[in-house]
Structure 1
Amino acid sequence: MAAVLGAGVGVVGTLAVAALTMTATRWQVRTQAVDAHAQWRRQVRRDAYVALLNALGEVNEDLFEISMYMYNCRQPEELHTHERMLHAVAGTREVCRLAWVVELEGPEEVRGYAHVAGGKLNVWLVCLSDWYEAVRDGRDASEAEERTRAGMHEVEELIENLIAAASEVLDGVDQPPSFASTRLARP
């Protein structure tokens, strides 16, 4: 009788250890999958953010150089300015394309800044073009110059905010998942 009782306890103990081992293994596999997905998601977002910021930086540099030339010279150099404007237009299209990727990848904190990026560049570009044409045609350019300056500041502020939001999102994704987020759902 004692042997049967001992065998029963042994079987129950073995089954309990097996169940605990299975649960721990499932939890570990799920945790690793969540960690791998979070790392992949962070990398995809990082790549999208970097591409958008690089494109924004290039267009910002083009428009800034044209603005500085206009501020300092007051006489637009047709060929140089026109080529830079065309480059900025192409760059703005690229920013819009990359912004769509960032809008897709999100999250909301970054999506909003990406959504307005192309528009703010276009506004600056149009204001700068108006200023350029007013100076070239000998008209009063003070209003267009002021709008250009405002557009430049809006783009600079957008870039700063986008960098801050993207950094916050990427830093937050690095946090290890909590136990509650890695629990397996029961059927």
Structure 2
Amino acid sequence: MNAGEIALVGAVAGIVASIVGAGGAVVAARLAGRYQSRSQHAHWRRQVRRDAYAAFLDSVAQFNELRRSYRELALLGQTMPEGTADRLRGLIRGIEKALFLVELEGPAEVAAQADTVMRSIADWQASVIVTELRAARGVPPRSDVPSSDAMHRQVNQSVEVFKVVARAALDAPDTVSQV
């Protein structure tokens, strides 16, 4: 092999090395882009869930404010002001709308606990209605029907469990695949 051939082989080897290096860089950039895209999607997904959970808790908090007022007035033997029933129905509709978002965003464990909160609110509402109807008719309370105080505690407990389950879902490392 003469010097010209050696130079040619060296040049070809340099070109091949450059192509392989460029190909490696392209593959590495593509993989990094994919990873970044997945990471951004996971962050976006977590934020959407956080917003849904916060909206649910906010609507429950608004309901709880009215519920506490009812409880205080009931303990004092007073009735709720005019229009409270309509306001209560509106707040419950707000909770239902927020519940639909939680069910949509998932995961299933969080949606199930949000549904438990909604059911405990419905149980509280039913307990209040039964208690008020019985009191209006002079019928004594039944021992087999839970009191509104028991339902009050049930609502509070279900909300606390929802917070724990929602926090765990938000802290989970891979929230994108959990729907």
Q: Match for 1:20 among 24, 39, 42? A: 24
CA distance in 1, matches of 2:57, 2:48: 14
Q: What displacement does 1:101 show?
A: 0.8
Contact 2:117–2:162, Cα closer than 8 Å, also in 1: no
Contact 2:131–2:141, Cα closer than 8 Å, also in 1: yes
CA distance in 1, matches of 2:91, 2:145: 22
Q: CA distance change for structure 1 residues 53 and 85 in 2, over 3 Å: closer, same or farther?
A: same
- Say how many residue pairs are matched: 173
One-letter amino acid of the structure 2 residue matched with residue 95 of structure 1: I
Match of 2:38 in 1: 34
Q: What displacement does 1:160 show?
A: 0.5
Q: What displacement does 1:145 show?
A: 7.3
**Structure 1 gap segments, 5+ residues each:** 182-187
Q: What displacement does 1:47 show?
A: 0.9
CA distance in 1, matches of 2:145, 2:137: 14
One-letter amino acid of the structure 2 residue matched with residue 69 of structure 1: L
One-letter amino acid of the structure 2 residue matched with residue 39 of structure 1: H
Q: CA distance change for structure 1 residues 137 and 119 in 2, over 3 Å: closer, same or farther?
A: same
Contact 1:124–1:152, Cα closer than 8 Å, also in 2: yes
Contact 1:110–1:162, Cα closer than 8 Å, also in 2: yes
What TM-score comes out, normalization by structure 1 length?
0.81
Identity %: 27
CA distance in 1, matches of 2:17, 2:104: 51
Match of 2:125 in 1: 125
Alignment of 1:1-187 (within 5 A): 1-70=5-74, 72-73=75-76, 75-77=77-79, 79-80=80-81, 83-141=83-141, 143=143, 146-172=146-172
Q: What displacement does 1:37 show?
A: 0.9
CA distance in 1, matches of 2:173, 2:69: 36
Question: Which one has the largest radius of gyration?
Answer: 2
Segment of structure 1 superposing worse, 94-103 or 131-140: 131-140
**Structure 2 gap segments, 5+ residues each:** none
